[in-house]
A and B are shown apart, each in its own frame.
Chain A
Amino acid sequence: MGKARTGLGIALALASLAWIPSGVARADVTISLKTFDQLYNSLAVATRVTPDTAIKTYFDNVKLRLPKTGDVEEMSAPMLTGLTGLSGLFCERMIANDARISTPANRRAHRQVDFTKTPADMTEAIRQSVATEYARLFWQRDPTAAEQNLIVDLIGNAITTDDTTAAATPKILKIACTATATSLLAIVN
């Protein structure tokens, strides 16, 4: 297994080529999983996070569990487990980056999130906007109503009685971000 290409320029180009608008019939195209390096690069592109040492180390530890050729037979629970951790790291960095950007319009996502407020302060409308942003990042399309509801519900379910400070807001968002980034549509070509 070769070393992952980490050049974001190349990855961006590949990602743009892979982007096909929802609704375009693709029955003639055999579906495949993203390979280990495609997953790595697509997460970097989607989150606009430059992988740091922790991400690279984790990736090195799990890449043997990620798809090698992209054949659908490589879909497995161990693969998903490894990918979940990788997605979580990219999401964590993206959310932290966005939280430091005071002008919401300049954020990768979370344009309606006030990171100075608690998770409970995220209204239904804010949660829906987050769901839409995540879907666009990882699925390259808007969420359906059902998908949006699932992400909104997940944000609600992730909030525990301990999450009463603003510091908990990124933590809750990471759960929804990771779930979206690891769902099936995010990991296929």
Chain B
Amino acid sequence: MNKPLLHQNHRRPITRRELLAQGFIAGSATLLAPTLFGSLLSRAARAQGMTTLPFMVFDMAGGAGLPGNFLVGKTGGPEDLLTSYDLLGWNPRIGNALDKSFGLPMAGGNVSRILQGITTTSSAEARAFTRMGSLLHFAQDDTSSNQLSAVAMIARGGYKTTILSKALGQRTNVSGGNSDIVRNGSADAAFKPLVVGKVGDVVDAVGFGQVFSTYKPEVVKAMAQGMSDLTGEHVPEIRQRTRGDRLAELSQAAYEKNATDTASGSSMDPRQQTITQQVYQINAGTQPNDVRAITATIALNAINGNAGPGVITVGGCDYHDGTQTTGDAKDLEMGQHIGRAIETAHRLKQPFFFNLITDGGVYSRRGSRNWQGDDGTKCMSVIGMYNPAGAPAMRRIQVGSYTDGQGVDRTTVIGASPAKAAYAVLANWLSAQGRLGEFERIAPAGVFSRTELESVLIFG
């Protein structure tokens, strides 16, 4: 009764409207208002001509214990519980073990340090408008070769920025993080994020450059004001020309903004922005290579659309040293990065899509949270979304499944392939914007069948 309608004389459905019409999407009426991208974008973003859903990757390098933080389940979803979780570092069956604040259940009761990191760095209001879902898949342990990062595909997927077209990352890898990008032949060959080792790496790239780096800020500002004043003198002459009125109007705003804002690069520098000062606990005196300043630079400029997608990496996540302590610290660190980014998006009133990835996984000493060794079958990714208009609706909260062996089921659509998981991220990012129809323009033909494509959608 609920099977999709396949029309012999119609092409297979690809747009969301077509999928709805032919029954591929079940029970999706609740999705309409909050997830239509037109209502997602803030007024400020629209005013800037920005029509892209900002995207960030959070990369835990080394194979973190994500299933020890996020609930994994069998084919019925995360709450279709496995027989045991004793190698995954927690027991979801004990009372109050599950925190369902974000849709995807997390290890509550002070177990998940990722959850703790998010909740201690973000406001209740921001978290209320944030949802997460899981992608369950295998990945090789402790390697940068897993093609898990969708960042390159997303960057060329009609990603619009207001100032700097490049993606921002922390590592010199082509992904800007640890895990590799999905390599689609020559399509992504030119992808190369700007490596942010200090605030100036971004500010200089979008400011006046090194040619004025030795000047006092007030002198540079005077120069920008001078060109604005000279332009004011030119306006009567310009207005005499066809379309001169329009150019005069645009020029007034552009030169004024150049003089008051961009001249000092302050709009790009999180140490100069009140929101990021508060969220990241930094100020104008924070060292430009301070890790909080660096991650704030990436998050601020990715989320407000100044730059392309952002990639934040936490190293040392190969934390199976027989203790819980090391893993907790790394999980907490990543949770804080995610929480601060969500809070930044919330205060900017900016919709925001993110992806948590890691290369492989770990298993614990049975019945404990002491991480003992690598296990790539205990891998997963998480996608999340913040929407200032309201909590994003979700079609499902888990794609793929685990088995009672406490490892990923490799027979699912994404189970055996990190790259398939990345394609699923792309599909969700597009779907959240009502742009799923562009999937096959960006991804190679045949990556997913129509049915498979629908089956990996969490958002949109």
Contacts and interface: CB of A to CB of B under 8 A. Distances in A.
Interface stretch (B215-223, B288-296, B324-332): B215-223
Contact of A184 (B211, B230, B257, B262): B230
Interface string A57-69: 0100110110000
Nearest to A84: B208
A26 B237 CA distance: 10
Interface stretch (B69-77, B105-113, B248-256, B384-392): B248-256
Contacts of B237: 185
B230 A147 contact: yes
Nearest to A79: B254
Contact of B206 (A78, A88, A151): A78
A65 B212 CA distance: 19
Contacts, number: 138
B247 A75 contact: yes
B229 A184 contact: no
A8 interface: no
Contacts of B254: 75-77, 79-80
Interface residues of A, number: 49
B163 A78 contact: yes
Given A31-B238, A84-B208, A179 B258 contact: no
Contact of B222 (A26, A175, A180): A175
Interface in A35-51: none
B247 A31 contact: yes
A84 B247 contact: no
B22 interface: no
A81 interface: yes
A15 interface: no
B20 interface: no
Nearest to A144: B233
A125 interface: no
A53 interface: no
A179 B253 CA distance: 17
B227 A183 contact: yes
Contacts of A88: 208-209, 211-212
Interface string A64-97: 1100000011011111110011001100100000
A92 B242 contact: no
Contacts of B238: 31, 184-185, 188
Given A28-B242, A188-B238, A188-B247, A158 B230 contact: no
B234 interface: yes
A59 to B, nearest CB: 11
A65 B163 contact: yes
B425 interface: no
Interface string A119-158: 0000000000000000000000000101100110110011
Given A158-B223, A179-B223, A147 B233 contact: yes
Interface in B195-223: 205-209, 211-212, 214-216, 219, 222-223
A76 to B, nearest CB: 5
Nearest to A185: B234
Nearest to A74: B250
Interface in B220-277: 222-224, 226-227, 229-231, 233-235, 237-238, 240-244, 246-247, 250-251, 253-255, 257-258, 261-263
B211 A29 contact: no
Contacts of B261: 77
A13 interface: no
A30 B233 contact: no
Nearest to A57: B209
A81 B209 CA distance: 9
A17 interface: no
B258 A84 contact: yes
Contact of A85 (B207, B214, B226, B241): B207
B165 interface: yes
Contacts of B231: 183-185
Given A147-B233, A182-B227, A77 B257 contact: yes
Contacts of A64: 165
A16 interface: no
Contacts of B28: none
B30 interface: no
A178 interface: yes
A44 to B, nearest CB: 16
5 contacts: A25-B240, A75-B254, A77-B261, A146-B233, A175-B219
Interface of A: 25-31, 33, 58, 61-62, 64-65, 72-73, 75-81, 84-85, 88-89, 92, 144, 146-147, 150-151, 153-154, 157-158, 160, 171, 174-176, 178-180, 182-185, 188
Interface of B: 162-163, 165, 205-209, 211-212, 214-216, 219, 222-224, 226-227, 229-231, 233-235, 237-238, 240-244, 246-247, 250-251, 253-255, 257-258, 261-263
Given A27-B240, A77-B261, 17 more contacts: A25-B240, A26-B241, A27-B241, A29-B241, A30-B243, A31-B244, A75-B254, A78-B262, A81-B262, A171-B215, A180-B227, A180-B230, A183-B227, A184-B234, A184-B251, A184-B255, A185-B238
